[in-house]
Amino acid sequence: MAPYVARRLLATVPVVLLVTVMVFLLLHITPGDPVIIMLGEEASPDAVAALRHGLGLDRPLPVQYGTWIWRAAHGDLGTSLRTHDRVVALVLQRYPATLELSALAMLLSLCIASPVGVLSAVRRNSWVDALMTPLAISGVSMPSFWLGILLIWVFSVLLPWFPTVGFVPIGVSLAGNLHTLTLPVVTLGVALAAIVMRITRASVLQVLPMDYVRTARAKGIHERVVVRRHALRTALIPVVTVLGLQTGALLGGAVIVETLFALPGVGRLIVDAIFARDFPVVQGAVLLLAISFILVNLGVDLLYAQLDPRIRYQ
């Protein structure tokens, strides 16, 4: 197991480097000069040149990237051009909110999608299956920003049950934290729930006709036990795979949801930094999200062995 994990971690190094290169180039070809944004349009050429030299933005792009990646490898992601705070501190300060939002959205999707997907598979072509299929397609097709605006209009304007914006840290109040995160979690989790439901249904349908499931039924085991203990465990492997792959979609959707609901997460930090052309903050935040996505997928691969004893990592 340990050699496999070590090889996987080494294989992620080129992926992380490619992500940093792409983000670095996209930021520098985007219109807008951070120095002009900081000093204003009326700044003198001498002041602009002095600040650009002080920030190191007058050096060639390969030199700028090499300096940044060398420092990042040693744990230094630079300093914010706007607030002059350390990027590591800024990102880690915002990361818990994004992590909680994504985790709750995934938990919500599993609580909804897993039983519904299994029920649709067990009762294939019934009224339950006929009802859940169009609902799942609607959930996948619905843009998260539109769903978020709709939820705000219904549950914050028409029915003032939830706040439109704001965030209460979990350390301050658990009830307040869940209250402020309800609408963002639903907004982010609906699309994932629809995807997981469809994958769960298809996976269970493939497993139910297998010989070991028929053997369990022939032994007189209750159908509920057959589905839960024999069919569902094997059927969960594709579901876990989709959850790992959808982590990137959750983190990407968090950017929109956090901006819409004014949550102090990494997604909103990235949006604000892009508008301010704060290059170090964007690069550091994207690097953290990329590493999180890679580690989640590594955990998914290791979970396969727990779901299926036939899987072994050499």
DSSP one-letter string for 16-43: HHHHHHHHHHHHHHSS--HHHHHH-TT-
Mean pLDDT of 131-149: 78
Indicate whether 133 pLDDT > 70.
Answer: yes
The C-alpha atoms of residue 105 and residue 73 are separated, in whole angstroms, by: 32
For residue 128, what pLDDT is reported? Answer: 73
Q: Is residue 54 part of a domain?
A: no
Half-sphere exposure of 31 (CA within 13 A, CB side): 0
Length of the chain: 314
262-283 residue pLDDT tens:
888 888 888 888 888 888 888 8
Q: Is residue 201 part of a domain?
A: yes
For residue 136, what pLDDT is reported? Answer: 75
Q: Is residue 32 part of a domain?
A: no
Mean pLDDT of 118-147: 77
For residue 207, what pLDDT is reported? Answer: 76
- The values of phi and psi at residue 79, to 5°, are -125, 140
Residue 248, classified by CB atoms within 10 Å of its CB into exposed (0-12), middle (13-18) or buried (19+), is: middle
For residue 216, what pLDDT is reported? Answer: 72
165-205 residue pLDDT tens:
878 888 788 888 888 888 888 888 888 888 888 888 888 77
Q: Angle of helix 266-275 relative to helix 87-122, nearest 10 degrees?
A: 130
Q: Is residue 28 part of a domain?
A: no
DSSP 132-161: HHHHHHHHHHS-HHHHHHHHHIIIIIISTT
Question: What letter would DSSP give residue 75?
Answer: T
Q: Is residue 220 part of a domain?
A: yes
- Helix, strand, coil fractions of the chain, as percent rounded to 5: 80, 0, 20
Q: Is residue 80 part of a domain?
A: no
Mean pLDDT of 89-113: 87
The C-alpha atoms of residue 3 and residue 215 are separated, in whole angstroms, by: 38
The C-alpha atoms of residue 145 and residue 168 are separated, in whole angstroms, by: 22
For residue 308, what pLDDT is reported? Answer: 63
Q: Is residue 82 part of a domain?
A: no
Number of structural domains in the chain: 1
Instruction: Copy the structure tokens of residue 113.
Output: 């999608």
For residue 74, what pLDDT is reported? Answer: 82
Q: Is residue 211 part of a domain?
A: yes
Element (H, E) at 282: helix 279-307
Q: What is the CATH number of the domain that holds 110?
A: 1.10.3720.10
The C-alpha atoms of residue 181 and residue 163 are separated, in whole angstroms, by: 9
| Domain that includes residue 190, residue range | 95-307
